[in-house]
Amino acid sequence: MARKKKNTEETKVKVPQIDAYIQGAGQVVDEKITITLEKNYMPYAMSVNVSRSFPEIDGFKPSHRKLLYTMYKMGLLQGAKMKSANVVGRTMQLNPHGDAAIYETMVRLARGNETLLHPYVESKGNFGKAYSRDMAYAASRYTEVKLEPICNELFKDIDKNTVDFVPNYDNTMQEPTLFPATFPSVLVNANVGIGVAMASSVCSFNLAEICETTIALMRNPEHNALETLKGPDFAGGSYFIYDEEELDKVYQTGRGSLKFRAKYSYDKSANCIDITQIPPTATIEVIIEKIVALVKAGKIKDIQYIRDETDINGLHISIDLKRGADPEKLMQKLFKMTPLQDTYACNFNILVNGYPKVMGVYEIIREWVKFRMNCVKRRVDFDLRKKEDKLHLLLGLEKILLDIDKAVKIVRETENESDVVPNLMVGFGIDQIQAEYVAEIKLRHLNREYILNRTKEIQSLIAEIADMKDILGSDRRIKGIIIDELKEVSNKYGQARKTEFIYAVEEEEAEEIDDVPDYQCKLFVSESGYFKKITPQSLRMSGAQKVKEGDEIKQEIEATNKTELLFFTDKATVYKSRASSFEDSKASALGDYIPAKLSFDDGESFVTMVPTTDYKGYLLFVYENGKVAKVPMSAYETKTNRKKLTNAYSEKSKLISILYVEENANVLIKSSNGRMIIFNSALMLPKASRDTIGVATMTLKAKSVVEKAYIVDDETAKKFSKYIVKNIPAAGPFAKDIEDPDQMTF
């Protein structure tokens, strides 16, 4: 009964404490919704944003950092691969989440998934693919992983107090708050996060370009990042549609929309389009589903069959075309109507000192440099303390060198072991740490050679300590260390770009071109730039061509209504159009004024027109300085209906004439001092770049310049055989046998 009464008394004591915790439970209290949200929802929102969703300045979210640090502590930076399940299990010591969430994090970091430009996890087995929605990764018990070599740069000197460590969730071990990454990893690998009321989307950039840009900005804060950081670079490749204005906006503000386009090729023999790279925001399944829907809706009629041929060799979508389909025109429609061309919305929201902040590339690099400078300072300070401690011990050892026998005598004559250290301190005037070090020296080391060898380090240690103190007091030297590390990382891990460029001017939206009738016509272009397209029937019934006073017809060309036309201007620009874009005219009309019709820039004048149907042959650009450039017509061919091409030819010397040749032809060039040469264009090699300066063909003397150039047929060349040269450049003889060279026409 006594025991029972005691229990009852204990129960009566505990009840009031429980009531204190549940006091007010079930009561309805009037409270403003804003206060309720602030007390209950805001802590949760901040926890999600700060501890889960957004990357920090080292480039990692907490889930990434916990996984990689676990693998580092498991020794997976070296050695063999380990089953993913084992790594996931160990990571649970740091990450209070289930194995599925941890394994998904690992998958995204793995090389096999092809998400990251520079993967951090070397993988073996099926890790799925970032570009496929349905290609699922294998279970963790089937796959194996280890850390990629680039992780050496993440953990470098992490044990030298370079970053802060905090207890894990159950306070059983320590984990780093950040990684002391030696390069701006936050910009090297893509990172997307969705928080509460805010999100983050950071695109990836080429490692070598990021390192170069960081070095340039450290040396010159006014450096223009566009000069060294060309644009985003994704693991999946594709084309980046270059828009300098939008890219600069992203670099300045951290926000903007960048366009990406799939990479494809056309197999003429199989009459199919092969797509091998897609935008980073698209997946194979979504693309195929969208194309199938368009075909079913009757919006696209040129596709016969589409299939996914993706295999171990990589992404591959094949589109079989119907007979007569135009692959270029079809792709322009697909780019416009499917995710084969898509936009990446940049939102560089990154945690800095625990607070989310949207920053441009410039500010991110500045924040990273601050962070890295602090890491280097802490590392140098750590090494400095170690060397100072070592120097302190060696200075004590140096005093023992003065009388080794005395030290032995003190130890031997000391009765109690606990008195050895105090007696050495008194006998040699050293402190307790030095005395402890001396007392622990082995008997075999109590010889002069050993002690002399150890004390030789004193001078080098003194010099190293002085150098380290100088580093700690000099931001310039710390930046120099960071720059050297960036160069080393770039040389060791840099790789060629995977994402190529299509310049924005080339990517003007393609016009919808209806099937136009094809018929014979004759094109007339006047000296001042008036254009007329006249049918043979109209031409037979008309008289002389009407032109403005002082103007004259410069070109008469047999063509068809589907002939493509290249209009060259005096500003090294070519405007592209088609004969079908011009209305049929008559001889009695002036025609269309080309600068107005094609919207030439102010001050831009028409030079000549070149027609083509297949972009075969060559253009010869003859310059005043005697040079001639041989450029393939294919250099002016574009996949889209591009209206304008800049840098159509070189502007380093005045252009005299533009000549078209199908294969090779005889070219006559006349200089202002009356000399003349005829050479075959086969003597010149074609140049791929449109604005090439060409090769010297005529040697000019006495301040003369080239003033005329023509294509001459074999009969004419034979007539003037004395002017034919077999090698270029050549000066050529004077044209004395021609009565009036200035009036020559061919």
- Rounded to whole angstroms, the Cα distance separating 366 from 218 reads 8
Structure-token pair, residue 7: 């229990």
Burial of 454 (0-12, 13-18, 19+ CB in 10 A): middle
pLDDT above 50: residue 4: no
Q: Rounded to the nearest 10 degrees, what angle do helices 207-219 and 361-401 cross at?
A: 80
Chain-wide mean pLDDT for the chain? 87
Q: Note the pLDDT of residue 445.
A: 73
- Rounded to whole angstroms, the Cα distance separating 176 from 174 reads 7
- Rounded to whole angstroms, the Cα distance separating 383 from 535 reads 88
Q: Note the pLDDT of residue 22.
A: 56
Q: Note the pLDDT of residue 83.
A: 96
Dihedral sign for Cα 266, 269, 272, 274, please: negative
pLDDT above 50: residue 99: yes
The mean-pLDDT minimum among 481-495, 504-518, 542-556 falls in 504-518
Count Cβ atoms below 10 Å from residue 403 Cβ, excluding itself.
13
Q: Which residue has the higher pLDDT, 443 or 611?
A: 611
Q: Note the pLDDT of residue 7.
A: 45
Beta-sheet pairing, 574-578 with 644-645: antiparallel
pLDDT above 90: residue 500: yes
Q: Are 124 and 137 in contact (CB under 8 A)?
A: no
How far is residue 503 from each of residues 124, 219, 642, measured CA to CA in Å?
A: 38, 30, 11
338: CB partners within 8 A, 6+ apart = 287, 290, 291, 294
Structure-token pair, residue 258: 């960048």
pLDDT above 50: residue 510: no
Dihedral sign for Cα 650, 653, 654, 656, please: negative
Q: Are 470 and 381 in contact (CB under 8 A)?
A: no
Structure-token pair, residue 102: 């941890």
Q: Note the pLDDT of residue 16.
A: 47
Average pLDDT of the residues in 490-494: 95
Homologous superfamily (CATH) of 517-743 is DNA gyrase/topoisomerase IV, subunit A, C-terminal (2.120.10.90)
468: CB partners within 8 A, 6+ apart = 380, 383, 384, 387
Q: Are 565 and 577 in contact (CB under 8 A)?
A: yes
Q: Note the pLDDT of residue 494.
A: 93
pLDDT above 80: residue 641: no
pLDDT band of residue 106 (cuts 50, 70, 90) is very high
Average pLDDT of the residues in 442-458: 77
Which one-letter amino acid corresponds to residue 305? Y
Residue-range domain boundaries for the chain: 2-45, 60-180, 263-339, 375-493, 517-743
Which one-letter amino acid corresponds to residue 551? D
Q: Are 375 and 416 in contact (CB under 8 A)?
A: no
Q: Are 575 and 643 in contact (CB under 8 A)?
A: yes
Helix, strand, coil percentages, rounded to 5, for the chain: 40, 25, 40
pLDDT above 80: residue 640: no
Nearest CA to 627 among 734, 703, 705? Answer: 705
- Rounded to whole angstroms, the Cα distance separating 262 from 277 reads 5
548: CB partners within 8 A, 6+ apart = 526, 528, 530, 590
Q: Note the pLDDT of residue 1.
A: 42
256: CB partners within 8 A, 6+ apart = 246, 247, 249, 250, 345, 346
Structure-token pair, residue 267: 């197999």
Q: Note the pLDDT of residue 176.
A: 95
Beta strands in 436-590 (DSSP E): 500-503, 520-526, 530-534, 553-560, 564-569, 574-578
Nearest CA to 109 among 170, 51, 61, 152? Answer: 61
Q: Note the pLDDT of residue 40.
A: 79
Q: Note the pLDDT of residue 250.
A: 95
- Rounded to whole angstroms, the Cα distance separating 60 from 362 reads 19
Average pLDDT of the residues in 708-721: 87
Look at the chain and count its residues: 746
Average pLDDT of the residues in 170-190: 94
Average pLDDT of the residues in 183-201: 89
Q: Are 522 and 559 in contact (CB under 8 A)?
A: yes
The mean-pLDDT minimum among 91-105, 148-162, 468-482 falls in 91-105
Q: Note the pLDDT of residue 251.
A: 96
pLDDT band of residue 23 (cuts 50, 70, 90) is low
Nearest CA to 545 among 567, 520, 525, 521? Answer: 525
Q: Note the pLDDT of residue 504.
A: 56
Q: In what order do the strands lie in the sheet with 574-578?
A: 606-612, 564-569, 574-578, 644-645
The mean-pLDDT minimum among 39-43, 142-146, 237-241, 732-736 falls in 39-43
Which one-letter amino acid corresponds to residue 649? Y
For residue 18, how many C-alpha atoms fall within 13 Å in the half-sphere facing its CB?
Answer: 5
Which one-letter amino acid corresponds to residue 220? N
pLDDT above 50: residue 437: yes
Indicate the fold that domain 263-339 takes in CATH.
Gyrase A; domain 2 (3.30.1360)
pLDDT band of residue 406 (cuts 50, 70, 90) is confident
Q: Are 630 and 665 in contact (CB under 8 A)?
A: no
pLDDT band of residue 453 (cuts 50, 70, 90) is confident
- Rounded to whole angstroms, the Cα distance separating 174 from 545 reads 91
Q: What number of H helices and E strands is found in the chain?
A: 22, 32
Structure-token pair, residue 248: 């600069």
Give the whole-number percent of the chain exceeding pLDDT 90. 55
Q: Are 552 and 527 in contact (CB under 8 A)?
A: yes
- Per DSSP, the three-state class of 32 is coil
Q: Note the pLDDT of residue 608.
A: 92
Nearest CA to 677 among 655, 703, 706, 702? Answer: 706
Tell me the CATH architecture of domain 60-180: Alpha-Beta Complex (3.90)
Q: Which residue has the higher pLDDT, 141 or 448?
A: 141
The mean-pLDDT minimum among 503-512, 608-617, 654-663, 713-722 falls in 503-512
- Rounded to whole angstroms, the Cα distance separating 709 from 744 reads 10
pLDDT band of residue 744 (cuts 50, 70, 90) is low
- Rounded to whole angstroms, the Cα distance separating 60 from 94 reads 15
The mean-pLDDT minimum among 290-304, 335-349, 490-504, 514-528 falls in 514-528
Q: Nearest 5 degrees, angle CA 357-CA 363-CA 365?
A: 115
pLDDT above 60: residue 404: yes
Nearest CA to 528 among 584, 570, 574? Answer: 570
Position of tokens 């068809």? Answer: 560
Q: Are 643 and 573 in contact (CB under 8 A)?
A: no
| Residues annotated catalytic, as ranges | 142
How far is residue 340 from each of residues 261, 307, 344, 500, measured CA to CA in Å?
A: 6, 15, 13, 15
pLDDT above 50: residue 3: no
Beta-sheet pairing, 199-202 with 191-194: antiparallel
Average pLDDT of the residues in 148-162: 95
- Rounded to whole angstroms, the Cα distance separating 381 from 387 reads 10
Q: Are 730 and 724 in contact (CB under 8 A)?
A: no
Homologous superfamily (CATH) of 375-493 is Topoisomerase, domain 3 (1.10.268.10)
- Per DSSP, the three-state class of 342 is strand
Q: Nearest 5 degrees, angle CA 312-CA 316-CA 317?
A: 145
DSSP conformation class of 664: -
Which one-letter amino acid corresponds to residue 598? L
Q: Note the pLDDT of residue 152.
A: 95
Give the global pTM: 0.65
N- to C-terminal Cα separation, the chain: 134
Count Cβ atoms below 10 Å from residue 572 Cβ, excluding itself.
19
How far is residue 453 from each of residues 389, 438, 440, 659, 702, measured CA to CA in Å?
A: 18, 15, 17, 83, 80
pLDDT band of residue 232 (cuts 50, 70, 90) is very high
Q: Are 506 and 640 in contact (CB under 8 A)?
A: yes
